[in-house]
């Protein structure tokens, strides 16, 4: 069970796995995530679904090697098995025919963005998509996005591909009319997009990924403040109204284990 059928390297540190998981594939929808552990003493790693194939009995995940566990995960090969795979977790994205929807995805979450966009397209939406990354060598799935989006913008922090930064979004929001905005990616990007759409009053759905442990509403690790109330992203989300999220608190909570994570990576690099 949970055999890796396909492994692709999308950028230097971003990998795609297609994993055999028929029970999850049958129920999976965009917005869901899984929590996996690949050995007995392994950390629990939450990852958003980037696709599912109910007929083939597979799910697709796209992940970045950012620390010890994700780097170890990226070392697995086709044919290897993932010890535990729990899911689908969380709530699916609130799918609807909104009209014209602006979909903004950044970094490794571009994988999940395409999965969302395909579902939104099937629901009848017109999609204006923005793919953001640090630079050209970190970009992937541009062709896949072109196939789904009615209009596509690429932006990089350093201007090495497409437009530079997010400034153009200000103009886009002023000049055009959008019925809904969806954003997924680094929390700082989601915060910035929410601030940009707030004055225009465009409902903005964000997809949060705070630190999670059990993923089932019991540990409280993933709590976020939304509209002044405490919510658990794993069971109440991970999608929320971006105008209601306390992003500053979320960002500071996501950094809590940074020192331990750095030490774990240094020790791991010494061993391998
Ligand atoms: C709902 C959800 C969906 C996610 N989807 C994706 C995805 O599709 N692709 C992807 O690359 N990453 C995703 N992540 C983040 C991913 O889980 C972390 O990058 C991974 O756990 C890092 O582990 P590490 O040991 O390699 O790195 P570490 O060095 O331990 O951590 C690096 C950074 O990853 C984050 N992180 C670490 N542990 C966790 C944890 N248990 N829960 C959440 N964040 C953590 C922290 O921000 C940390 O600073 C998701 C997280 C959540 C909560
Ligand atoms: S991860 Fe434990 S309550 Fe959400």
Q: Which CATH class is domain 93-207?
A: alpha beta
pLDDT tens digits for range 192-225: 999 999 999 999 999 999 999 999 999 999 999 9
The ranges assigned to domains in the chain are: 4-89, 93-207, 208-272
Residue 193, Cβ neighbours under 10 Å: how many? 26
Q: Is the CB of 142 under 6 A from ligand 2?
A: no
Ligand 2 centroid from CA 236, angstroms = 10
Confidence of residue 41 (pLDDT cuts 50, 70, 90): confident
Ligand 2, atom 2: closest residue by C-alpha: 219
Render pLDDT for 60-82 as a digit per residue (tens, 0 to 9).
999 999 988 999 999 999 999 99
The pLDDT-based confidence of 50 (bands split at 50, 70, 90) is very high
Q: Between residues 39 and 2, which one has the greater pLDDT?
A: 2
Percent of the chain whose predicted confidence (pLDDT) is above 90 = 88
Q: Is 118 helix (H, G, I), strand (E, B) or coil?
A: helix
The answer to whether 112 and 120 are in contact (CB under 8 A) is no
Rounded-to-integer distance, Cα 272 and Cα 76, Å: 14
Q: What number is the average pLDDT over the span 140-153?
A: 96
Residue located nearest, by CA, to atom 3 of ligand 2: 217
Contacts of 68 (CB under 8 A, 6+ apart): 43, 261, 264, 265, 268
Taking only Cα atoms into account, the Rg of the chain, rounded to an integer number of angstroms, comes to 18
pLDDT at 272: 66
d(CA 233, CA 91): 9
Question: What's the average model confidence in pLDDT over 148-172?
Answer: 94
Q: Which ligand is nearest to the CA of 16?
A: 1
Task: Write down the CATH superfamily of domain 4-89.
Answer: Translation factors (2.40.30.10)
Task: Find how far residue 272's CA is from the centre of its chain.
Answer: 29
3-state secondary structure of 249: helix
Alpha carbon distance 15, 63 (integer Å): 6
DSSP state, 213?
Answer: S
Q: Which of 44, 46, 47, 234 most suits a substitution to test ligand 2, by most atoms within 8 Å of the C-beta?
A: 234
Model pTM above 0.85: yes
pLDDT tops 80 at residue 186: yes
């Amino acid at each position: 069970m949970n055999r890796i059928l396909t492994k692709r390297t999308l950028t230097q540190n971003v990998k795609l796995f297609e994993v055999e998981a028929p029970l999850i594939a049958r129920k999976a929808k965009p917005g869901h995530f899984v929590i996996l552990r690949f050995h007995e003493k392994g950390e629990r790693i939450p990852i958003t679904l980037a696709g599912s194939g109910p007929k083939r009995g597979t799910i697709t995940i796209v992940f970045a090697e950012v620390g010890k566990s994700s780097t170890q995960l990226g070392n697995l090969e086709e044919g290897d098995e993932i010890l535990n795979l729990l899911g689908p977790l969380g709530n699916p994205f609130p799918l609807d025919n909104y009209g014209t929807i602006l979909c903004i995805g950044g970094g490794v979450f571009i994988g999940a963005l395409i999965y969302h966009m395909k579902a939104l397209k099937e629901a009848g939406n017109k999609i204006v998509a923005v793919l953001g990354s640090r630079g050209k060598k970190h970009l992937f799935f541009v062709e896949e996005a072109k196939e789904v989006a009615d209009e596509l913008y690429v932006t990089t922090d350093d201007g090495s591909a497409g437009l530079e930064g997010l400034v153009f979004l200000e103009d886009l929001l002023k000049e055009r009319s959008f019925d809904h905005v969806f954003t997924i990616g680094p929390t700082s990007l989601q915060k910035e997009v929410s601030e940009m759409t707030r004055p225009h009053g465009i409902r903005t759905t964000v997809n949060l990924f705070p630190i999670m442990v059990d993923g089932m509403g019991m540990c409280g690790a993933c709590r976020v403040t939304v509209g002044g109330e405490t919510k658990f992203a794993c069971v109440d989300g991970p999608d929320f109204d971006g105008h209601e999220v306390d992003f500053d608190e979320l960002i500071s909570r996501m950094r809590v284990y940074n020192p331990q994570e750095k030490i774990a990576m240094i020790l791991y690099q010494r061993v391998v």
